[in-house]
Amino acid sequence: MITAKKTLYLYVETPLHAGVGSGLSSIDLPIQRERTTQYPMIQGSGIKGKLRAAMEGDRKERTVEERITIDTLFGPPSTPADEIDRVNASDHAGALIFGDARILLFPVRSLNGVFAYTTSYDVLNRFMRDVDHGSCTLAWELPQEKQIEHTVHITKKQKSRVSSNNMVVLEEFSFTAEESSSVDDIATWIAAEGLPQTQEYAYWRDKVKDSLIILPEDDFRDFVVNATEIITRISIDRKTKTAAGTALWTEEHLPTDTLLYVPVYATNSRRNGSTMQAKDILQKVTSLEDNQEGYIQLGGDETVGRGIVRMQWSSK
């Protein structure tokens, strides 16, 4: 039974490729997407595996007590590292439950202010539902959704840096901008809860407060489908120093400054003889942020600097 919940926020600092192997489109290696909405996402199994690997390191170097704690959180390893690992994977499940990483803010090129943090009514309503499951009371309400085509909501109390003359231009598309104090409340809350509270993120917290835009659902979907980063890669022949045969491919990446969130739930320990409670389980996994100095790598292309994300756990 789930008795404790938190939200893990992931701020993308370098383009992130959480791939699906291959695709049928012109992009050879597309990113993971939800089937119905086509919103970018990262499967919870991948996040769970990466967090376990970061906490575990070289399992053979861990003490028996440390291994037991890790197995209590994530479940026993399917392949024992050595003779010390005598617990089979079927003996008990891990106490942590990871949801998929879902989109919250997506950066889009803007005529003013370089880029805007965009979201939509659909995304925010889903976020409100997920965070409510996380026992966190939101200090904001959504503005009334406009049914007028190409009309967006921007900040009111904080002068928006991405609008001019009540207009917003994103990529090659223009929108009529309407100010709303609710957007200020949402931006302030995200800056305080979803972004790291360290000094190097002061600029980005301020930018969220004056560059947040709530888009109509269809427009937001079009941007997350068509405004991702496409990187072309080649392999060089060592002798000729030219492209090696047909080794030319394209990869899709989530752009830098994307914000994702992951619902994380916990049960009491399922290991026989363990009395660890759900709140202690969550406390153990949130301490990983300090151990990693707040950073973790997700997705492919690790050796070329892709997928560096900053972790931020919710305060409640």
Per-residue tokens: 295:
């950073």
Is 78's pLDDT higher than 90? Answer: no
Rg from Cα positions in the chain: 21
Q: Alpha-carbon distance 209 to 142, whole Å?
A: 15
Determine the CATH number of domain 1-18+44-99+256-316: 3.30.70
What would the pLDDT profile of 279-291 be if each residue is shown by its tens digit? 999 988 888 777 7
Say which residue, 75 or 147, is predicted with more confidence: 75
pLDDT at residue 229, as a whole number: 92
- pLDDT given for residue 23 in this prediction: 61
Mean predicted lDDT score pLDDT of the chain: 87
Query: pLDDT tens digits, residue range 137-177?
Result: 677 888 777 667 789 999 999 999 999 999 999 999 999 99
pLDDT at 86: 59
Inter-CA distances, 291 with 4, 241, 269, 284, 296, Å: 22, 42, 22, 11, 10
Answer yes or no: is pLDDT of 136 > 80. no
pLDDT tens-digit readout, 23-58: 656 788 899 999 999 999 999 999 999 999 888 887
Q: What is the pLDDT of residue 245?
A: 66
Nearest to 307 by CA among 107, 9, 11: 11
Could you give the angle at the alpha carbon of 112 between the alpha carbons of 109 and 113, nearest 5°?
75
Supply the pTM of this predicted model: 0.90
Token reading at 304: 């070329």
Q: Are 292 and 311 in contact (CB under 8 A)?
A: yes
pLDDT reported for residue 137: 64
- What does residue 139 show for φ and ψ, rounded to 5 degrees? -95, 35
Q: Are 121 and 142 in contact (CB under 8 A)?
A: yes
The residues of the chain that CATH labels 3.30.70 are: 1-18+44-99+256-316
How confident is residue 236, by pLDDT bands cut at 50, 70 and 90?
confident
